[in-house]
Chain A
Amino acid sequence: MTLRNKACIVGVGESEIGKVPHMTGLGLNAQAAKRALDEAGLKPSDIDGLITAYSMTEPYFMLGSVLAEYLGIQPTYAASLTAGGASPALMLMHAADAIAAGRASCVLVTAGENRATGQSRDQAVEALAAVGHPYFEHPYGPLIPGFYAMIARRHMHEYGTRREDMAAVAVQQRANALLHPNAHMKKPITTADVLGAKPIAEPLGLLDCCLISDAGGALIVMSPERAKDAKSRPVWLWGAGEITTHEHILAAPSLTEFGTKRSAEIAYRMAGIGPKDIQFAELYDCFTIVPILEAEDAGLVPKGEGGAFFREGRAARDGELPVNTHGGMLSHAHAGAAGGLFGIIEAVRQLRGEAGARQVKRHEVALVHNEGGILSQHGTLILGRERR
């Protein structure tokens, strides 16, 4: 079943972002949901579907029903999805599935956690280390940045990618974040800052790694028929693709080419367009090597040229194909499953032409990519300003 033209995003919302000790994770979700709903001019009783992800700081067993209860809604479609960083793109796809199947017509998609203040930094690092295989990786102390560091080093080895190329990702995204009123990071950084930052897992330093924020994000997804009731400009889902290729890095088919390729191919085919038609992209960026890989695997640049793409400024806000115009998870916010959700929210704002100082020139079609695990599970979205 195609999802082309089956669902529209009519509202987007971000909670307060950064260190927000006066709010719980559920509160962050609720605030983002309220802002998204207000933007669409809808009321809580209009929502008939709810999809959320998971929370490591508030690990409720049934987060979907916990959140429905907290929000005072009784959806006839509710689910909680655990797909790590891939969750947001997949949540939107599940929302579109539910709408296309007639199971729901107005779905709230939300995720967020108080990762910065709801746990200590050591707890955060230790909890995330559990993503490694409990028996065959964990005893070796690998660390999540360590997994991505091995991916970065292999890319450097095969394609001559340099630390400076990865630093360019961090520097450009910080510049974008400075134009975003709600971004976690407020100070510019230079290439020298990135290269000189405290080493975490060579070749990655602290500024190659995403933030740990308190943050929640939300989307209101509607059927095209019901979207007419919303006061906002709808953004259309043109195409979507998903794939899972492995979970643990030791079982990854390759360290330099990932499932992004396949999920993007599925999404392009559904949308009836190709990589050359993409005008800007919001790529998952838990570490600086990841947007480089994804730009290549999604066909936006030839394999091996991702490093040069960023180094030469072609992915900058005024470049040929702007990437992560809100600052991404490196500079805007990262809080569990909400990280990639902000990429979707940014794409919507850019497509509407409502991105203010960071508005890109060409904004008819965008690609969003989310990944979870160690580039294990992937979701690619193609979103358009008009009906396709």
Chain B
Amino acid sequence: MSSPGPLPLPAPNADSAAYWAGAKAGKLLLQRCRDCGATWFMSRHLCASCWSEQVESVEASGRGRVHSFTVIHRAPSAAFAGQVPYVVALIDLAEGPRMLANIVGAGAREIAIGELVRVTFEQRGDGALPQFQRAP
């Protein structure tokens, strides 16, 4: 492997600035359409259900369930080589949308499909990354 650089940092752009500012402040933000009420993860300029541009940020409860997960043994880049084995999961948030994150903290590798998890925030650079831990 080449030199182990830092783990990838949150990279805000015009679509996601509010999301990452929220994470830095310890909030998990979703977007909601003021016209049709759709709620989603993955920041966008408009609502993908009705194409309304009347989009607002709303704070999620931070609770969810594991839809599926994997334990990574082969790091995708030098930066992750020191992290293996680690858990990557798809989380169904209580509000409905699905997001991807690591399961971190005690018992992470014993996680199972359907298990309850709650959000926690990992400092990365001068920002923060939403992560999840088991919430029995």
Contacts and interface: CB of A to CB of B under 8 A. Distances in A.
Interface string B46-86: 00000000000000000000011111111111111001001
A248 B14 CA distance: 20
B72 A201 contact: yes
B74 A200 contact: yes
* Ranked 7 nearest A-B pairs via Cβ: A149-B70, A129-B76, A150-B68, A141-B80, A154-B68, A202-B71, A143-B76
Interface residues of B, number: 38
A144 B42 CA distance: 19
A141 B68 contact: no
Interface string B9-46: 11101001000000000000000000000000110000
Interface stretch (A99-107, A132-140, A173-181): A132-140
A153 B68 contact: yes
B88 interface: yes
Chain A interface residue count: which class? Answer: 35 or more
B94 interface: no
A381 interface: no
Interface of A: 122, 125-126, 129, 133-146, 149-151, 153-154, 157, 198-204, 248-251, 255
Given A133-B42, A142-B88, A150-B88, A201 B73 contact: yes
A146 B72 contact: yes
A5 to B, nearest CB: 38
B117 to A, nearest CB: 14
B108 interface: no
Count chain B CB atoms within 10 A of each CB in A144, A199, A255 and give the residue with the most.
A199
Contacts of A198: 73-74
A139 B76 CA distance: 11
